[in-house]
Chain A
Amino acid sequence: MIVDQLVLQALVAVDVLVVFIALFVVLLLSSFMLRGVKLRSIPTVEASLEAVRACSEKGTPLLFDTGWTGANFWGHESGLTTLCFVPATLELLRNIAAECGRLGVRVITGTTEPVYNLMSQDYAQRGFAQSGHPERYVPTDIIFYPDNTALNMTEVEMAHRLPYGAAVMIGGHNQTSNVVIYEALATEGAMIVAGEIWPNDNSMAALCADYMSFAEENIAIGSYLTEDPVPKAILAGEDIVKGFLIAVVILGGILFGAKVL
């Protein structure tokens, strides 16, 4: 066992509020001080629009699947991830819808989250409107499924029947069931762009996808899609936080090891 009797004494000793405020202050200062800092690229941002173009060439629809991304109240910290994916994935959907509108590609979405489904309609409609082709928006293509099983079975069936030219699978799936859809898409030769939330879903994407981005990279997509320098500066500020955590492990480890702490 790595860590006996240690950990959440820290939760008692170090107030969560203090940690949050410290993180917030660092990121807030970064938003002013790190403007203009260059960021590395995230593969799925460009690949998603490439997927639209691939569908345009093949004359097929595009699948935009976000699984169970959205509002949830299961009361465990991992739920934070699905919630935080909402703004980024919706912003990506709007951009994809705009590109689809321009190129005349049909985009079919899938989600198991009711509020997210309604928000998807709002964003997709706006995207098509921005392309100058609002008439290309098809409300019945923004599909809600009552559960993960219905989503998987239907998307597998549609992957074989339509079939899709490309799929942007960005979000969370249940118990790595994304691989079931990947298998159907791969069988039909579709291009797969994946950006999954959970580590185990990421593993399935690593196995099957043509392009993929890991976990937190997907929360940052919204910042990459805007010209505003502030969100990018905040992303740069995250590096300070991560650098601090790395320093805590290395220096803290040495100090604990030397019994200084």
Chain B
Amino acid sequence: MAKQTESTGSRIISELPTLVGIVGLFVIASLYWVQPGWDVALTIRDATTLSLIFPTAIVVLLLLRRHIYNLSRREESWPYDITTIGSCLFMILLYLIGGMEDPTLAALYSNVSVVGTMAVISAIAVGIFSAMMRIYRAKTPTMAFLIALSILALLTYSPLGEMIYPGIPQLGDFVQTYISGAADSAFWISTYIGAVALITRMILLKERLRPA
């Protein structure tokens, strides 16, 4: 019994950060129904949000370390490592000279990062159409049904369906609104139930937030 008490005690001490975290969780959650928020909760929330700048800075430095490491080993990627390190340091230098409002910093960000993002997001279309053409085959009745639905969606959301028969986009809209909408709800609701289960496991110290 004494041994069990001792192990429970030491367990609680070792799990102290998790317990503190759970208290923090409910303190913050209270902001949802305490309007306006109370000071302690606001302070914890703001402090946690602000503290994120430190891990962010650390991981950016670790990213640079990776490329410097590649350079030091003279890997074949060295010209690209120099590009990464150089452009990163150049951006930091621009900030140190002109602040976040520096026009060159803003120009590079909007024309490289934002446009690069657009390129990647738009490339999704290529990935999908390519995969559809290559591997979308009616191997099972379910797959045949899904292919038919994908064709229905293409007909609905391009002018093609309306040109063939006005009922086609109406049917597509019906499937999207009433069936896809319900599936979307099922996805989210089950995930939120999973979230509450996760918190239950955390409270019972059965969900590890640090490596075993």
| Chain A residues in the interface with B (C-beta under 8 A) | 2, 15-17, 20, 23-24, 27-28, 31, 71, 73, 77-78, 80-81, 83-84, 86-87, 90-91, 94, 114-115, 117-118, 122-123, 126-127, 139-140, 143-150, 152-153, 174-177, 179-180, 182-183, 186, 197, 199, 202, 204, 207-208, 214-216, 219-220, 222-223, 228, 230-231, 234-235, 237-238, 241-242, 245
Would you call B59 and A149 a contact (CB within 8 A)?
A: no
Tell me whether A241 and B62 are in contact in the complex, defined as CB-CB below 8 angstroms, given that A87-B208, A87-B209, A153-B116 are known contacts: no
The closest CB in chain A to the CB of B63 belongs to A144
Would you call A147 and B65 a contact (CB within 8 A)?
A: no
Would you call A147 and B194 a contact (CB within 8 A)?
A: no
Choose one: B52, B127, B135; the contact of A114 (CB below 8 Å): B52
Chain A residues with Cβ below 8 Å from B55 are 114-115, 117-118
A80 to B: closest C-beta gap in Å = 5
Chain B residues with Cβ below 8 Å from A87 are 198, 207-209
- Considering only CB atoms and an 8 Å cut-off, how many residues of chain B contact the other chain? 61
Choose one: B48, B62, B124, B201; the contact of A176 (CB below 8 Å): B124
Tell me whether A91 and B197 are in contact in the complex, defined as CB-CB below 8 angstroms, given that A15-B33, A143-B63 are known contacts: no
Given contacts A31-B206, A145-B63, A216-B187, 18 further A-B contacts (CB under 8 A): A17-B33, A91-B208, A143-B66, A146-B63, A148-B117, A150-B116, A179-B124, A180-B124, A180-B127, A183-B126, A183-B127, A199-B188, A207-B132, A208-B135, A215-B190, A220-B194, A237-B197, A238-B194
Would you call A219 and B195 a contact (CB within 8 A)?
A: yes
- Can you name 21 A-B pairs with beta carbons within 8 Å? A2-B177, A87-B207, A87-B208, A114-B59, A117-B62, A140-B65, A140-B66, A144-B63, A147-B117, A148-B117, A149-B120, A150-B116, A175-B124, A183-B130, A215-B188, A215-B190, A219-B191, A222-B207, A230-B204, A238-B193, A238-B194
Chain B residues with Cβ below 8 Å from A83 are 195
Chain A residues with Cβ below 8 Å from B119 are 149
| Chain B residues in the interface with A (C-beta under 8 A) | 32-33, 48-49, 52, 55-56, 58-60, 62-63, 65-66, 69, 113, 116-117, 119-121, 123-124, 126-128, 130-132, 134-136, 177-178, 181, 183-184, 187-201, 203-204, 206-212
A79 to B: closest C-beta gap in Å = 10
Tell me whether A182 and B59 are in contact in the complex, defined as CB-CB below 8 angstroms, given that A87-B209, A153-B116 are known contacts: no
Chain A residues with Cβ below 8 Å from B49 are 73
